[in-house]
Amino acid sequence: MPKRKQVFNNRGDNELFKDEWEDVVLAPKIGLLQHVGINLGDMPKKVYDFIKIRPEDLELFSEENGRTYLPFPRDPTSIVFSDNDSSFQVPQYESYPIHDKLNKKFGYILNFGGSVWALEWCPNISSPGEQYLAIGGYKSSIDEHHPIGRKQKTDLNQAIQIWKINCQIDNFVTEEEEEEEEEEEENQTFVNKPKLDMVICHEYGCIFDMQWCPYGTNDGDDDNNNNENGENDIDKVGENDEGDENSNKEEIVFQRLGILAVSFGNGTIGIFSIPKPNSIRKYFGEPLDSTKPIFVKFKEPLIELSLPQTMCWTVSWGGHYKISTGCTNGDIATWNIFDILKRKYVNNVYDDPEVTYPINYMRAHDSCIRQIVWNSPTNPSHTLSCGHDGRLQIIEDRDPMFKNMFQRIRDFMSTVCWPCHYGGIVYADSDNTVRYIRMDDLRKTTGLIMHHANVWRIAASYYHPFVASCSADGSVKIANICRLRDRHQKPIQVTWYRIGFKEDEVTVRYYHNIKSKETTGTYHNAESFSHFYRPEVSIQRISWNSNICSGTWLASGGTLGLVRVDSVHRK
């Protein structure tokens, strides 16, 4: 068999995916997951060790008070997976295993309760049985709207939901066991249903975007596999950081799950140090095996960032020390968040008005910025942004006044993605097509995925070459970038699922087993043109799991408040 002619292969061997990935079409293979170009496990540990979470920093709410911060109560939606299937319901803040209905699917449906606009997996968790997903958005569904640039001033009591999910698949069928696949599938089970583990109550309004610090903020990760009972979730440290030998006092410090940056409806960005839920339960005497969530409210965030006469709409971490935001007036601001927090919590500098000034502030777009991302968490030097002016441009952090605009469309550009493991970027154009651009040839673009309505979000993984996208047409699709290496192979889009309504206009229908097709072939399909869809079916956020132990898990959610958490894998 002749050797394939490579289109793009000018990077080091440690920055390329294995050749086997080129033949993978339908979904990532668990056995092929790998670190490419970046290994978050090798990054600095406990970079924010000087920040402690103490009992006096937060308040534990009763369930009655805490539920006033959650989305408004409403009747659960009826759901079916096929025309001949009986319907089922998922109450608010509950979950349902989809593998009970679909033998070849592995995952759950979670009910967030309101419209989902932020969805992020917690990084640096080594145990697949204890993965955490942060969800935020609106308290209502299609009847809640927030005009761009208008700060929210009423109904500011909202919440961030932290879900605990078991991503461990028992009795997984390997390739050597394919002959016994049908028999083994009956024995595949998930231990423990996902649960709403903790609710972070706040008074900053709805949530537009949020992101975890990518590394160096999780405490006690080495003990995750042996910490089911929360035995190591509380630390006792000396009264001062220098360990005064004359002081016998000890203070309680909660172990940290991670540091979360959130953009709120009141126009600000809040940075929160999120504790492990079981550490809160243990300190306050709550049962560690409780299926009910705990409701926590911080007295104040670690730091609150804001800008005059505009709103901080999006948020993106540049490594562990920089945070950038895209504003509703087209500006981009970057803060050195590590220095700000160190000055506050180590040097006790509280009153300096310049402490929260951004290190970079520039006019980047002519209208609001939809999304901003950094090129890499290890060496963040460039930002990529898109906005309602239709521009796609890169700005170097060291020379922010020079903007490299290399794409322009006559439409809103809603999302962009910069896979740090591959030499290119991914964006959605005016034809609702997810396109890939190689950095060595900015004039040429390749279509990866075709949707029939606005593409809300694109996500890429650190550990495999599959890109995922979600759209207002209710579909979630994936495609393999590695197939673009070979000129003789065409990109193939796989529809993981699509959401719609049955004839009664009430029951939600999930469509599966949709035939995969070549992306280029969809342009010749009469259904390729844009359609109008009911707003309830819109899928607005999507996120790959950021831990290699669960790297094939994909979370997606939208207007209905239903969040699908699937293991998108093949044998």
Question: What would the pLDDT profile of 46-85 be if each residue is shown by its tens digit?
Answer: 899 999 999 999 999 999 999 999 999 998 889 998 777 7
Most confident of 409-423, 473-487, 535-549: 535-549
* pLDDT tens by residue, 372-399: 999 888 889 999 999 999 999 999 988 8
CA 158 – CA 135 distance, rounded (Å): 12
53 within a domain of the structure (yes/no): yes
Beta bridge partners of 168: none
The residue segments making up the domain with residue 71 are 28-170+190-220+253-567
Q: What is the pLDDT, as a whole number, of residue 514?
A: 86
Q: What is the pLDDT, as a whole number, of residue 114?
A: 95
CA 381 – CA 371 distance, rounded (Å): 17
Under 8 Å between Cβ of 188 and 169: yes
Under 8 Å between Cβ of 68 and 77: no
Q: Kindly tell me if the per-residue pLDDT of 247 is higher than 60.
A: no
**Greater pLDDT, 441 or 358:** 358
Task: Work out the mean pLDDT of the chain and round it to a whole number.
Answer: 84
Residue found by looking up tokens 């839920």 in the block: 277
Q: How confident is the model at residue 9 (pLDDT cuts 50, 70, 90)?
A: very low
Q: In what order do the strands lie in the sheet with 433-438?
A: 416-417, 424-428, 433-438, 441-450
Q: Kindly tell me if the per-residue pLDDT of 311 is higher than 70.
A: yes
Residue 196 CB neighbour total at 10 angstroms: 24
Q: How confident is the model at residue 19 (pLDDT cuts 50, 70, 90)?
A: confident
CA 124 – CA 111 distance, rounded (Å): 25
23 within a domain of the structure (yes/no): no
Least confident of 25-39, 240-254, 536-550: 240-254
Specify the pTM.
0.89
CA 157 – CA 66 distance, rounded (Å): 10
pLDDT average, residue stretch 459-466? 91
Q: How confident is the model at residue 350 (pLDDT cuts 50, 70, 90)?
A: low
Q: What is the pLDDT, as a whole number, of residue 8?
A: 37
Q: How confident is the model at residue 40 (pLDDT cuts 50, 70, 90)?
A: confident
Q: What is the pLDDT, as a whole number, of residue 221?
A: 54
Q: How far is CA 347 from the centre of its chain?
A: 33
Q: Kindly tell me if the per-residue pLDDT of 352 is higher than 60.
A: no
3-state DSSP of 42-57: HCCCCCCCCCCECHHH
Residue found by looking up tokens 């969530």 in the block: 293
* pLDDT tens by residue, 426-441: 999 988 999 999 877 7
Q: What is the pLDDT, as a whole number, of residue 56?
A: 93
CA 290 – CA 439 distance, rounded (Å): 50
Residue 515 CB neighbour total at 10 angstroms: 6
Under 8 Å between Cβ of 92 and 111: yes
What element of type H or E holds 58?
A: strand 58-61
Q: How confident is the model at residue 474 (pLDDT cuts 50, 70, 90)?
A: very high
* pLDDT tens by residue, 96-152: 999 888 877 889 999 999 999 999 999 989 889 899 999 999 999 888 999 999 999
Q: What is the pLDDT, as a whole number, of residue 519?
A: 73
Under 8 Å between Cβ of 481 and 493: no
Residue 185 CB neighbour total at 10 angstroms: 14
Q: What is the pLDDT, as a whole number, of residue 229?
A: 52
| 300: its two tokens | 């104040």
Q: Kindly tell me if the per-residue pLDDT of 189 is higher than 70.
A: no
Q: Kindly tell me if the per-residue pLDDT of 6 is higher than 80.
A: no
114 within a domain of the structure (yes/no): yes
530 within a domain of the structure (yes/no): yes
**Domain CATH code at residue 271:** 2.130.10.10
Q: Kindly tell me if the per-residue pLDDT of 462 is higher than 50.
A: yes
Q: What is the pLDDT, as a whole number, of residue 155?
A: 87
**Greater pLDDT, 407 or 498:** 498
Q: How confident is the model at residue 179 (pLDDT cuts 50, 70, 90)?
A: very low
3-state DSSP of 117-182: EEEEECCCCCCCCCEEEEEEECCCCCCCCCCCCCCCCCCCCEEEEEEEECCCCCCCCCHHHHHHHH
Number of domains in the chain: 1
- Residue 367, exposed/middle/buried by CB under 10 A (0-12, 13-18, 19+)? middle
- 184 closest CA partner among 108, 97, 106, 98: 106
Q: Kindly tell me if the per-residue pLDDT of 553 is higher than 70.
A: yes
pLDDT average, residue stretch 522-544? 77
